[in-house]
Structure 1
Amino acid sequence: MSSKEVLVDGIPFPAEITRTKPLALVGQGMTSVEIHFLEIKYNAIGIYMDKDVTEYLKNWEGKTETELEEDDLFFAALFLAPVEKVFRIVVIKEIKGSQYGIQLESAVRDQLAAVDRYEEEEEEALEKVTKFFQSIYLKKGSVITFYFAAKPSTAEITFDSEGKGESKIQVDNKNVVEQMQKWYLGGSFAVSPSTVKSLAVKFEDILSQ
């Protein structure tokens, strides 16, 4: 492993990736479920962001890891910040793409319904995402990448399996894009508590400098 990589359950994540500009790895973790006292690991996660995100987090300068981890307002500021972000999801346990897509769709739909923002446009955008995942199989080592542009609020979802070329879709609905970010960055709402904890640890350091 190079010094510029971080291992998540043996899976290497580069410390930095570049889209239109360099994005730093600011959090990592995994999704898992416990069945009969056994932890079943599904995905390893790397969260990358533009360093300018700190401009939107000044209210949390000097806060401890614990304070950040327990503060959903901090995580809301994180996923609402209009900066480039990339979520790199590496499959540990293979499943049908439809299973992953349904989980994502359900989480996004429920959050939008809770704030009364689930209209026809949001439904159509979500259906497009669900249909995309129905057409793929998430083999071990496959990579799902969520790229969130700084402005406007758009997302690109890319799937790559065994280097056989990429499948991708564009999501242009602001509300859906926002809630997809919240699924991974939403504090107590997020799908991966280990990633939330990692983000809190990293941003305690970043915001104390």
Structure 2
Amino acid sequence: MVMVDEIPFPAEIVTKGPLLLFGQGITHVEIHFLQIKYNAIGIYLEKDVIQHLERWKGKNAAELQEDEHFFAALVSAPVEKLFRIVAIKEIKGSQYAVQLQSAVRDRLASVDKYEAEEEEALEEITSFFQSKYFKKDSVVSLRFPATSNTAEITFAMGGKEEVKIEVENANVVQMMQEWYLGGPTAVSPSTVKNLSEKFEAFLSL
């Protein structure tokens, strides 16, 4: 287990194959100079992802951290990815949904890809989270299969059976990945920093 702000993350998760914990961090907001931590994050990837990032061999963590092209290549790499998000502070599911919806919508609008189909897909995601309540240690998993432009969102609380939704809009799926793997513009700078450090080590082997 790897501890992220006192929350345990397995070093490996097996879905269709083994996924390794490539990076971890937290999301937080600052209120009156206090840092309020909301979620711990684990980024799981197939080890084969390294093969798709060969051109960055020899780059150090600081260079990778600021390189949008590196993170774009990471998002587009045809490997399975899984983002495990664990609640540190209790929030309503609707609060998380609004953050996700706003971030994805803004990214889509900036590249002129926000159409009715994308809006409908985002509304389905928002509706899924609307009735959820993120108690401490609740888990959201965002799984992106290697072979399709889809995403599977699952929610589990208190060890109860997971509930899930499929997202089939490729543009929304891409921007969901970019929200967490968007390099300098991602939601969690600490996760991006940690990923950069891990990839510096892997790409130097």
Q: CA deviation at 1:40?
A: 0.3
Counterpart of 2:113 in structure 1 is 117
Is residue 51 from structure 1 mapped to residue 20 from structure 2 by the alignment? no
Could you give the per-residue CA deviations for residues 54-84 of structure 1, whole angstroms, max 9, x where no partner exists?
Answer: 1211110110011101111111111111110
Q: Distance in 1 between matches of 2:16 and 2:77?
A: 17
Pair 1:35-2:31 in alignment: yes
Q: Who is 2:139 aligned against?
A: 143
Q: What do residues 152-178 of structure 1 show as CA deviations (whole Å, max 9, x unaligned)?
A: 111000000001211110001110000
Structure 1 counterpart of 2:179, which letter?
W
Alignment of 1:7-156 (within 5 A): 7-156=3-152
- Structure 1 consecutive aligned stretches of length 4 or more whose deviation exceeds 4 Å: none
1:53 deviates by: 0.8
State the Cα distance separating 1:181 from its structure 2 match.
0.3
**How many angstroms apart in 2 are the aligned matches of 1:44 and 1:87?**
10
Which of 143, 153, 157 does residue 157 from structure 1 map onto? 153
Distance in 1, matches of 2:201 and 2:25, equals: 18
Q: Which residue of 1 aligns with 2:197?
A: 201
- Percent of matched pairs sharing the same residue: 66
Q: Deviations over 1:127-157 (max 9, x none)?
A: 1101101020011110000010011111000
- Name the aligned partner's letter for residue 73 of structure 1: H
Q: Does 1:166 align with 2:162?
A: yes
Structure 1's unaligned 5+ residue stretches are none
1:68-107 Cα offsets, whole Å, 9 max, x none, are 0111111111111111000000000011000000000000
Task: Tell me how far 1:195 sits from its aligned partner.
Answer: 0.1
Give the secondary structure class of the aligned counterpart of 2:136: coil
What is the one-letter code of the residue matched to 1:104?
Answer: L
Displacement, 1:10? 0.4
The separation in 2 between residues aligned to 1:130 and 1:60, in whole angstroms, is 37
CA distance, structure 1, for counterparts of residue 50 and residue 19 of structure 2: 13
Q: TM-score, normalised by structure 2?
A: 0.98
The two structures have a TM-score, normalised by structure 1, of 0.97
Q: Please list the CA deviations of residues 18-43 of structure 1 after superposition, one character each: whole Å capped at 9, or x if unmatched.
A: 11000000000000111122110000
CA RMSD of superposed structures (Å): 0.7
